[in-house]
Each structure stands twice: as C-alpha cells, then as structure tokens.
Amino acid sequence: MTEHKWSLTSSTRESRIFATLAIVAVLLLIAAPWLVSRGLIRDLFQIMTLLVLAQCWNLLAGYAGLISVGQQAFVGIGAYVFFSFAVFMPIPPALAILAAGIVAAGIGVAAASFTFRLQGAYFAVGTWVVAEVVQLTLAKQSVLGGGSGMSLPREFRETMPGFGILREMGFSKSAAIDVIAYWMVLLLCVVTILVIYRFMRTPAGLGLGAVRDNVIAARSVGVNATRLKWLVYLGCNFITGIAGALIFMQKQRVSPDTAFSVIDWSAFVIFVVVIGGIGTIEGPIIGVLIFYLLQSFLADLGPIYLIILGALGIVSILVAPSGIWGLISSRTGIVLFPIRHNLKKLG
C-alpha cells in the first residue's frame, strides 16, 4: 500500500457556521405551530412545497439538462393518487403519500420513453404535451369527479398521524390538518435537500456536474450521461409526486385545473430557480424567499403581478444569468453547501 500524499476536503468555515444555523432553523420550524399564527404556517407550507419543487427542477434543468415544463403532470398525478386512495381504498395516509410518489415515478418512466427521444426545446414542449394529456384524461373520469375534482373524506382526515394528539392539544380539525401537512412537507424539504447534497458529493454527483457543464466531454471520459439523466428524472418525479400529494392534502380538495396548473407548478418554480441561481443547491433557497417577498407585496395587483414576475425573470437572465446566488458567491466566494473536492496536501 502506497502512502497517500493528498486528500480531498470540502467544508469551509462559512459552511460549518451555516450548517449549525440550519439545524437551529429546522428546530425552530418544527416548533413553529406553537410559535406563530396559522396564516404564517400556511405561508411556510407554501414556501417549502415550492422549495421542494424548485430543488427538483434545478436538478433536472440545471444539472441533467432536462428542461421540463411539464412537472405539473407529476404534482397532479401525486395529488390524484393520494385522493383516490383516500376516497376508494383508505390506507394509512403515509402509505398513500408514498404510493403517490411511486406512481408518479412510474408514469414518468412511460412519459420518458417518449420525451427522452427529444432534445432541448423539443423536450420542453414534449413534457408539456404529456402534462396536458394526463390532465385532460383525468378530467374526463367521472369516477374521479371529472372537471370538478374530489374532496378529502372527513373520516380519512382523522386517520392522519398525530391528528388525535393535535386535537387534544386544542387545534381545530382543519388547523390540525394544516399542521400535519406542514410537518410532512418540512420533513420532505429537509430530506430532499440533504439527499441532493449527499448525492452531489458522490462520484455519481460529480459525474452529473460534468454532464451539466459539457455532455459531449462527459461521455468522452466515460460518464454514462443517459443513466444519470434517468436516475435524476425518476428521483425528481418521485419527490414531485409526494409533494403533489401533500399540497392537495393540505387544501383538502383537488381538481384537474389546480392540480395540473402550469403556472403554479412550473412557471413559478422555474422563476424561483432562475432568479435564485440555477445549478446550485443554494440558488432555489434564495429564489423561493425572493418569490415569497414579491408575492406578499405584489399579489394584490392581479395580472400585473404576473407581468412583473415575468419581466424580473427576463431581467435576471440578461443581467445575472447565474442568479442572485451566483452574484453573491462569485463576489464573496461563500459556499453554504460545499460540494467541491479541494485538493489538500497531507503532512
């Protein structure tokens, strides 16, 4: 065995401080239902669902080169699978949520057998077509409520994990659902970010970084770009399906128009990733906070709000193509999720 002369390091001082702060933040978020108003819990729920979707889209578009504008297909499928179990075959809600993810990933495989033949803009259009087809098909099913959708049965609500305990602690029935959905999405959000972060530090994650930067060169040094794309696509659709189940569990109602909304589940998500900084884990986090602030101040303006968002997105692409986080990190060198492999001499 030869002596090692070099080692690899990743973490920086900022990243260690950030990790500590992040743990504190997560603990505060867990306790939030006792600390803040129900309105803010709902806002936090919305922020975190958007963050989960944005992390997934970032992985798809920012790393794997899969620019999908049809992720609403998997939000909707997840929601409908969850509601179908709730209405027709009440199983424990946690299992129904898991099933939502699995079915979304499964239908993703079928969709990919068509869309993966397309490149670039054609792929984007293809994913949207798939989403429309799924939406129109579901809207025709009278057993699923047709165009008006379904409501979450009351008895099923009460089988939610922790429902009884929260009721005893004085939460109203619908507040209890809010809190349960909030904790679940908090768990999903933390797990999603941690999994992506851990994955990016594996050799496969490094290979994905190579695919992001230059797919031809990546293949030429032996990276199986196709396999990585499939892996990312499957994983993201699984998580997106789960997110869909949780989003509509909290709303307690689902309809084709809301579940397959291209504005809510693709346009806003793309905005968040682009303005925050595509191709980084930090970007979507910054992006979702900016999006939330804009929404709080501008949502009353109606259509003008959407025009402002679109204009900001365009300005961001022209002025700062790597997003707000790209500007911050290139000026300061700060990294919150260190995934670099820095060479360090031993001894």
Partner 1 sequence: MALLELQQVNKAFGAVVVAKDVSFAIEDGSAVGIIGPNGAGKSTLFNLITGNLSASSGKVHFGGEDVTGRSAMHRCHLGIGRSFQVPQPFEKLTVLENLLVANCFGAEAAYYDPDTCADILEQTELLDKANLPAGSLSLLDRKRLELSRAMATRPRLLLLDEIAGGLTDAECKSLIETIRSLHASGVTIIWIEHVLHALTAVVDRLLVLNFGEIIGDGTPTDVMASREVQEIYLGIEA
Binding-site ranges for partner 1 (CB under 8 A): 2, 4-8, 203, 206-207, 209-210, 212-214, 216-225, 279, 340-343
| CB of residue 206 to partner 1, shortest distance in Å | 5
Distance of closest approach, residue 212 Cβ to partner 1, in angstroms: 7
* Closer residue to partner 1 in complex, CB, 120/222: 222
DSSP H stretches of helix in the chain: 13-35, 38-57, 72-88, 93-115, 120-139, 154-157, 163-168, 173-200, 203-213, 215-220, 225-251, 256-259, 262, 268-276, 282-298, 303-319, 323-332
Toward partner 1, which CB reaches closer, 93 or 207?
A: 207
Would you give the distance in Å from CA 332 to the centre of its chain?
Answer: 27
Min dist CB 223 to partner 1, Å, is 5
In whole angstroms, the minimum distance from the beta carbon of 225 to partner 1 comes to 8
Residue 9 or 37: the one with the smaller Cβ distance to partner 1 is 9
* Least distance (Å) between residue 10 CB and partner 1: 11
Residue 55 Cβ vs partner 1, minimum distance, rounded to whole Å? 18
Nearer Cβ to partner 1 (4/13)? 4
| Residue with Cβ nearer partner 1 (296 or 330) | 330
Identify residue 106 by its one-letter amino acid code: G
Amino acid identity of residue 100, one-letter, is A
Cβ-based nearer residue to partner 1, 73 or 278: 278
Residue 127 or residue 329: which is nearer to partner 1 going by CB? 329
Provide, rounded to whole angstroms, the least separation between the CB of residue 345 and partner 1.
9
Determine contact, residues 273/281, Cβ cutoff 8 Å. Answer: no
Q: How far apart are CA 157 and CA 155, in angstroms?
A: 5
Which residues have CB under 8 Å from 211's CB, separation 6+? Answer: 63, 64, 65, 218, 223, 225, 228, 229
The secondary structure of residue 336, as a DSSP letter, is S
Listed in sequence order, the DSSP H helices in 116-172 are 120-139, 154-157, 163-168
CB of 273 to partner 1, least distance (A): 16
Shortest Cβ distance from residue 4 to partner 1 (Å)?
6
φ, ψ (nearest 5 deg) of residue 85: -60, -45
| 346 CB-side CA count, 13 A | 6
Burial class (CB in 10 A: 0-12, 13-18, 19+), 166: buried
**Nearest residue (CB) to partner 1, 58 versus 258:** 58
- Which own/partner contact pairs does 175-182 have at CB distance under 8 Å and 24+ positions apart? 175/38, 177/249, 177/250, 177/252, 178/38, 178/41, 178/42, 178/45, 178/250, 179/33, 179/41, 181/45, 181/246, 181/249, 181/250, 182/32, 182/33, 182/41, 182/44, 182/45, 182/48, 182/250
Which residue lies nearer to partner 1 by CB, 63 or 128?
63
